[in-house]
Chains A and B, each alone.
Chain A
């Protein structure tokens, strides 16, 4: 798991049908040593605070996950039924490793944890999320983030 060859036929076919393409350019940005970096998490688990707007079909925008959120503050309204949610039900770190990131901060392995993190859903083509991603870059820069951990489901 999860090489496509390991998956059951229906799910493998479903993933093979997903729109997926490369890019003409290969951006590459360097930064300071990891122990000086400020790290934010961006997940595609469809997470949001309980009071925020649920994700809907083809949502290509993002939701803000405050850095002081607790596990019980977040729910997922990702529309796909084709990934495991039982892990998240037991431990949010399995999709949103904020507790682990805080531990690395305390141990001095990273510089700091960002004040805000973000969630997309992106159940369809990633191109749809490009405008929101560029907007997000502005917010991340404002938060002095120089390392983003992207976490899929």
Chain B
């Protein structure tokens, strides 16, 4: 991000930026930066909190009127949304997903059952919000699920995505699955804005979908296709979860 600020400013375009990793910004010294105390992926602070988002935006834009630079300021609102300090009550999915399969159920069966259970909540989320951010792979939900399951049987299944090579189709499908789960679970009753860490824990620790993606990683890192093995190794499961596998 700091590189873009440097290059655009060098070409005569004034820039200001939000910084998420202060240590990187301190090294790169872009013209103007506002460091914010929010999780990676949440530069404006919290979803559906326009007041906080406006405070961040105003603070970042105000740096454009600084008399000299480079400028690196800290957003003062340390306790703002999305902070995972452990102080709040633990979030729990209101409808616990059954983790223990019945005797004859394989991973595909329990995953399909779980997905069917969440689908009405996903539909509800789409209705409430008027849109979805699922769609990176371009696949419908059923095709998405079956494409991912196919990796358990074969590391080179038929690729249903016309725009992407197999390894990136896997990546896009995995992100679509996670997004579908997040949109669905946040449409259920209860806290509509759990912290990122709570949602992340839920997905990777409590869902069959999370188990499926970890299993796909284990399976595909052994692929003879180096691109698929690389994507499986680094891009499917967050690095912070890798030691759990």
Chain B residues touching A, range: 35 or more
Q: Is the CB of B7 within 8 A of A53?
A: no
Chain A residue contacts of B14, Cβ below 8 A: 29-31, 37, 146-148
A77 and B20 contact, Cβ closer than 8 Å, known pairs A26-B69, A100-B54? no
Evaluate contact between B168 and A56: CB separation under 8 angstroms. yes
Asked whether, in the complex, the Cβ of B3 is within 8 Å of the Cβ of A76, the reply is: no
Q: B: which residues have CB within 8 A of A?
A: 1-24, 27-31, 37-48, 50, 53-54, 56-58, 60-62, 64-65, 68-70, 82-84, 129-136, 138, 163-165, 168, 171-172, 175, 178-179, 182-183, 186, 192-193, 196, 199-200, 227, 231, 234-240, 242-243
- How distant is the Cα of A23 from the Cα of B183 in the complex, in angstroms? 41
Identify the closest chain B residue to A6 (Cβ). B37
How far apart sit A149 and B57, CA to CA, in the bound complex (Å)? Answer: 9
A-side contacts of B53, CB under 8 Å: 93-94, 97, 100
Query: Which residues of chain B are near A97, meaning CB under 8 Å?
Result: 44, 53, 56-57
Smallest CB gap from B37: residue in A: A1
- What residues of chain A lie closer than 8 Å to B45, measured between beta carbons? 94
B18 and A150 contact, CB distance less than 8 A: yes
Contact at B3–A141, with CB atoms within 8 Å? no
Q: A54-B163, A89-B179, A150-B1 are in contact. Are A21 and B27 (CB under 8 A)?
A: yes
Q: How far is it, in angstroms, between the C-alpha of A93 and the C-alpha of B62 when the chains are bound?
A: 19
A sample of 15 inter-chain contacts (CB < 8 A) reads A10-B242, A14-B239, A42-B8, A70-B131, A72-B131, A83-B41, A89-B179, A109-B61, A122-B1, A133-B11, A138-B11, A145-B13, A146-B14, A149-B57, A150-B18
With a 10 A CB-CB cut-off, give which of A4, A11, A87 has the most chain B CB atoms: A87
A21 to B23, CA, bound (A): 11
A64 cross-chain contacts in B, Cβ below 8 A: none
Separation of A80 and B56 alpha carbons in the complex (Å): 25
- A90 and B49 CA atoms in complex are apart in Å by 11
| Closest residue of B by beta carbon distance from A52 | B163
* Residue contact A22 to B28, C-beta cutoff 8 Å: yes
- Using Cβ atoms and an 8 Å threshold, which residues of chain A touch B24? 15, 18, 20
Cα(A26)–Cα(B9), bound, Å:
9
CA distance A77 to B22 in the complex (A): 25
Q: A27-B10, A81-B235, A148-B14 are in contact. List 11 more A-B contacts (CB 8 A).
A: A1-B84, A2-B37, A28-B69, A31-B14, A37-B14, A72-B131, A81-B234, A87-B41, A89-B183, A122-B4, A133-B4
